[in-house]
Structure 1
Amino acid sequence: MANNKEVVSLSDLKTMLQFTTDKQDSLLNLIIKNTEQALSFKLSLSGDETIPEDLTFIALEVCVRRYNRISNEGMASYSQEGQSITFNSSDFDDFMDDINAWREQNGKNVKSLGHVQFFNPYRGDSRAL
């Protein structure tokens, strides 16, 4: 992230995963970094904006989910010896209502009417029709 504010602490993530050693710290730090970047993007935050305190729980929960998906990337479900796990298509799926509500409350759902321009490829120039 562009900012230096820690959103998910390594300590909190290790507690959630019940880790007591430092063996996985590099991997966990990468998961934290990628999750915070993805959440910032989903919130439409600019480079100098930080993830709001009210939504930091999302980053921590997604970090846990992301860690638990290691070796199962891209799978929709997994079954072995009577145990079955079904994955959402995105680790953020369960939190999209919260994300969209925050975006709405903070003016981040501004919808552009857009501008469409058509070009005639047979005309030989790039004048709009």
Structure 2
Amino acid sequence: MALYLDGIIVAAIGVDNAGKKHLMGLVSGSSENASVVGSVARVARSRLVHGLGVLVRDRRLKALRSAIEELVSERARVQRCRAHKLRDVLDRQQKECISQTAAVMKAAYKLSAKDGMTKLRTHAA
């Protein structure tokens, strides 16, 4: 079966405490802009349990972050995928720095947030 869509579909997926995924919203649009993402976020917000936080995980964060923060502000936490972050940083490194930068980043991920940031800042300097 083939399916052609002219545009994109943005989905909000929730995960409960047991790890089961739930579709919380689904919207189609022409691009991943704040309007489209905001539409799916509004649908998802109506299904949120009161007091529950929101974790946003995506590497294309601009539209998503602005839409989510507008709707759930203080309850939203944004987390970037470590594998994508590592790949993006290493893509911008000179060849002779790649292995050392990768090792420093992987070591920093194993530390507490404060110590990890210190390690990364020291390496960047």
Instruction: Classify the TM-score, shorter chain.
Output: under 0.3
- Which structure would you say has the larger Rg? 1
**TM-score, with normalisation over the residues of structure 1?**
0.25
